[in-house]
A and B are shown apart, each in its own frame.
Chain A
Amino acid sequence: MNYFFHIIIMINIYIVLTVSSNLLVGMTNLLSLGQAAFYGIGAYFSVLALTTLNLPLIPSLIVAMLATGVFSLLLALTSLRLKNDYFVLSTLGFQIITFSVLYNWISVTKGPYGIPGIPAPKLLGIFQVSGIIPFLIFSTVMSLFTIFIFYYLINSPFGRLLKAMREDELALITLGKNITSLKIQTFAISSSFIAIAGFLYATYVTYIDPSSFNLDESIFILSALLIGGLGNIKGPVVGSIFVILLPEILRFVGLPDSIAANMRQIIYGLILIILMRFKPEGLAGNYRIK
């Protein structure tokens, strides 16, 4: 049963990651390779807030979200002038720099040794969120919260602007909208919600190290998003469930341990290729990548 709960918690974390990333990647068509960097920044700031600042759950979460939001502005301000491929490359740069800071700034992040023994966050000064059932509830609440917020945003006048911007920036400018500010807002919201995933991960696993937030992870988040589909809430949710369940299913298929990991990679790759060929908008998405 715990195994089953564990999977649901992981799915919840990925739902937070992909639903938030969808605002940036799906709605605004800014293909970012730096999503794991935000995830990592969120996780490390969560730990900082919980341990060094000794804050309870909600304040820690807010600290992590704000801090990640601020960092996202760094990337937004430097990269938004860049078009398409150049933008993607600048997010790649951000990802690499963030990883390397997390890895090498040992006095603060403990570098590759990681930070063990992350304490259970205290909710309202009474509950300790630790153990599998409380985490199941906590992560489900957070993923539902994220879904709710982003569903609302996507279907609001703000979401309408994002859709329009994705299609035709020129027309939107002459309609009096400020494209740069729209993109910055998108960056800030998207990444501060990714921090929630960082918080969940850090407190659930109680140990973090930079390898959880490397480029591979960024690509994994993106592929979950692309497999599920962009532009709505359903897509990222389906994608998250899919990428978390797939390896578990493959486990039951009974591949020998020695090749299981490699086979998993190959199967992911194949699925991505097949999907992009036959269903470029993903399993449940609205858009294809432009």
Chain B
Amino acid sequence: MSKYILKINDLTKSFTSDKDKSPLLFDSLTIEFPAGAVIGLMGTNGAGKTTLFNIISRLVDCDKGNIWYDNGDKQIDLLKLKANVLKGIGIGRLFQDNHIFADMTILDNLLIGGEDSFGETPFITLFKRKKHKEKEKIRVAKAKMILTELFGKDNYFWQNRNNYASELSYGQQRLLGIARLLMSDHKLLLLDEPTAGVHPEIREMICEVIRKINTSKGVSIIIIEHNFKVIEVTADECCFIDQGEIAAVGPPEDIIGNPIVRKKYIGI
């Protein structure tokens, strides 16, 4: 068996306490995500894709099962951890509904995603002013670099970095969310519909970015997508969730050609 980044064992989840009456969202879901790959996760609306991400990122508890994460050095049982330590072990998350800080500036949104949290406690802020200012400068430089890498030299985001993020369009907020993720290095990225609601041109660019993060830095990526094209371009492997189970796994072409998938998505 090749190395995995995430191994989900026997995961069971329902949303009500009365397990007899309500159908389980996941019933003994078992799946292994290979390390270093881009994996597409497909499924109809309400199939439980976002919930699966929520369970992995420890924002939602599951009823049973375990999730092993292998960050290269050791295997970690994710369900034993708190949500806020996941970033520290290399797991990053892009939400389906943006979750950027609208009342903060574009730049602040990026800086908050920085690798180094030096200066984020009051005493350091007050007593190590010089050092934390230096660190802040490094963060700003990194933000500038990422924006340039993503959107070119005189890009909109950097030029308007002191504007409030609420002034950005939905698609732009999406991009800001991706840029914020890139502010620190990850081993595993969970991207929940990164291209939903964005312009086709930008969609292509996002696909490129996803490929690039994966190939240049070896980051494993799980990407939830409804768009066949995006899956085709980005994913090495793809799995289709239906009624709480993995209905199909395989290379994107196979999944997209799979009769069950075609029926669910296109109705033919």
Contact = CB atoms under 8 A, between A and B. Distances in A.
A27 to B, nearest CB: 12
Given A158-B121, A160-B112, A161-B112, A170 B100 contact: no
A163 B104 CA distance: 8
Interface stretch (A30-38, A177-185, A215-223): A177-185
A174 B93 contact: yes
B84 A157 contact: no
Interface stretch (A51-59, A115-123, A148-156, A197-205): A148-156
Contacts of B83: 173-174
B65 interface: no
A259 interface: no
- Among B59, B99, B101, B180, the one with the most A-chain Cβ atoms within 10 Å of its Cβ is B101
B126 A176 contact: no
Interface string B55-95: 00101000000000000000000000001111110001101
A162 B103 CA distance: 12
A175 interface: yes
B84 A156 contact: no
Interface residues of B, number: 32
Given A171-B95, A171-B101, A176 B121 contact: no
A164 B117 contact: no
Contacts of B111: 157, 160
Interface in B111-125: 111-113, 117-122, 125
Interface in A186-214: 189
Given A156-B132, A176-B88, A185-B121, A167 B126 contact: no
A161 B113 CA distance: 10
A130 B104 CA distance: 45
A85 interface: no
Given A156-B119, A158-B121, A158-B125, A167 B102 contact: yes
Given A163-B104, A167-B102, A170-B59, A189 B86 contact: no
Interface residues of A, number: 26
B121 A163 contact: no
Contact of B122 (A153, A166, A173, A287): A153
Interface in B223-253: none
A146 B235 CA distance: 55
A74 to B, nearest CB: 20
B84 A167 contact: no
Nearest to A287: B103
B193 interface: no
Nearest to A159: B125
A253 B104 CA distance: 43
A32 B103 CA distance: 23
B59 to A, nearest CB: 7
B141 to A, nearest CB: 15
A160 B108 CA distance: 7
Given A163-B108, A170-B99, A175 B125 contact: no
A280 to B, nearest CB: 14
Contacts of B136: 157
Nearest to B181: A175
Contacts of B132: 156-157
A189 B121 CA distance: 11
B167 to A, nearest CB: 15
Interface in B184-220: none
A170 B180 CA distance: 15
Interface of A: 149, 152-153, 156-158, 160-161, 163-164, 166-168, 170-179, 185, 189, 287
Given A157-B125, A164-B101, 20 more contacts: A152-B125, A157-B117, A157-B120, A158-B121, A158-B122, A160-B111, A161-B120, A163-B101, A168-B100, A171-B100, A173-B84, A174-B87, A174-B93, A175-B87, A175-B112, A175-B180, A176-B87, A176-B117, A177-B117, A177-B120
30 contacts: A152-B126, A153-B125, A157-B132, A158-B120, A158-B125, A161-B120, A163-B104, A164-B112, A166-B103, A167-B101, A167-B102, A167-B103, A168-B99, A172-B112, A173-B83, A173-B84, A174-B84, A174-B86, A174-B92, A174-B95, A175-B87, A175-B112, A175-B113, A175-B180, A176-B88, A176-B117, A177-B120, A185-B121, A189-B122, A287-B103
